[in-house]
Amino acid sequence: MGKIIIDEAFWDVFPGAQLNILVITNIQNHCSKEKQAYFAELLKDASNEAKQYLTNKTFSQNTVIDEWRKAFSQFKTKKGARSSIEALLKRVNQDRAFTPINPLVDIYNSISLKYAVPCGGEDLQLISGDLHLGKAKGGESFLPLGADQDAPALPEEIIYYDNEGAICRCLNWREAQRTMLTEETTDAVLVIESINEDQALRAEQAMEEMKVLMNSFFQTECVITTLSKDNSCFEY
C-alpha cells in the first residue's frame, strides 16, 4: 500500500485546484496487432474532437492554452516549460497524427485530447515510498524521457516526487524515465489536474470516461478519487 499526498505548498499556489486520480492494478498493458487499429482510431477521433478548443487562429490565445500558461507563471519553471495539454493541442493545431504507444498511454492521451485536460500516469511498482505533489527544494534527481543526463528540479518548482527524486517536473510538463508507463506496467496511477471550475467539470467527465475505457479494455475495475485542499491524501 502507498499514498498519494498533495503537500500544503501546492495549495498555497493553487488553493482552488483539483486532482482527479485513477488507480488500476493487475493489468497486462500489451497491445496485439489487431488492437493497434483500435487505438489509432481512438487517438484520431480524440484529435478531431480537440479542435473545438482551438477556435482562435492565434494558438496562445485559445482559452486552454492561456489558462495553463498563466498557471505556469505562478511558480518557478524551467525556461520554455509548458503544460502537457499544450503539447498535445500543438500537435493537433499542426495536423500531426498520434501514433499508439501502449494501451495506458493511448487511453489517457485520447481522454486528455477530448476534454482538453492535462493527464499523466506513473507505474506504481516503480514509485519509491509515497507519491507527493509539492514544491521542490532544488536538486531532486530527474532523468527525463529521451535523455541520458540528470536534469535536477529547480528550487520552488512544482513537482511530483518520491523518496528517490522528481517524477514529473513543472507540474505536468515532463515525465521521468524511472516511473514511466511501459508495456511491462501492471499497476498504474493516472492523474488529471485542474485549476478552475470549468477545468474541474471537464476533468470529472474525463475521468468517468477514462474509467469506462480502462475497465472495458483491461477487464478490471479501477478506483477513482478526487483530491482537493480539504482532502489532500489518498491511500491505495
Show the DSSP H helices in the chain as ranges. 8-13, 33-50, 63-72, 84-93, 103-115, 197-218
Q: Please report, for the domain that includes residue 19, its CATH number.
A: 3.50.40
Q: What angle do CA 206, 93, 207 make, to 5 degrees?
A: 5
Q: Which domain holds residue 120?
A: 8-130+181-235
Residues 161-176: pLDDT tens digits?
999 999 999 999 999 9
Q: What angle do CA 11, 16, 22 make, to 5 degrees?
A: 85
Decide if 31 is inside a domain.
Answer: yes
Query: What percentage of the chain has pLDDT greater than the value 70?
Result: 100
Decide if 136 is inside a domain.
Answer: no
Residues 27-64: pLDDT tens digits?
999 998 888 999 999 999 999 999 999 999 999 999 99
The predicted pLDDT at position 139 comes to 97
Distance of CA 113 to the CA centre of its chain: 12
Decide if 159 is inside a domain.
Answer: no
Residues 172-189: pLDDT tens digits?
999 999 999 999 999 999
The predicted pLDDT at position 1 comes to 77
Decide if 161 is inside a domain.
Answer: no
Average pLDDT, integer, range 210-233? 96
Decide if 151 is inside a domain.
Answer: no
Instruction: Give me the DSSP letters along 34-76.
Output: HHHHHHHHHHHHHHHHHGGG--SSSGGGSHHHHHHHHHHTTSB
Decide if 155 is inside a domain.
Answer: no
Residues 206-221: pLDDT tens digits?
999 999 999 999 999 8
In one letter, which amino acid is 179?
T
Q: Which residue has the cell 515532463?
A: 174
Decide if 80 is inside a domain.
Answer: yes
CA atoms of 142 and 32, how far apart (whole Å) = 32
The predicted pLDDT at position 229 comes to 97
Q: How confident is the model at residue 102 (pLDDT cuts 50, 70, 90)?
A: very high
Residue 160's SS3 state is: strand
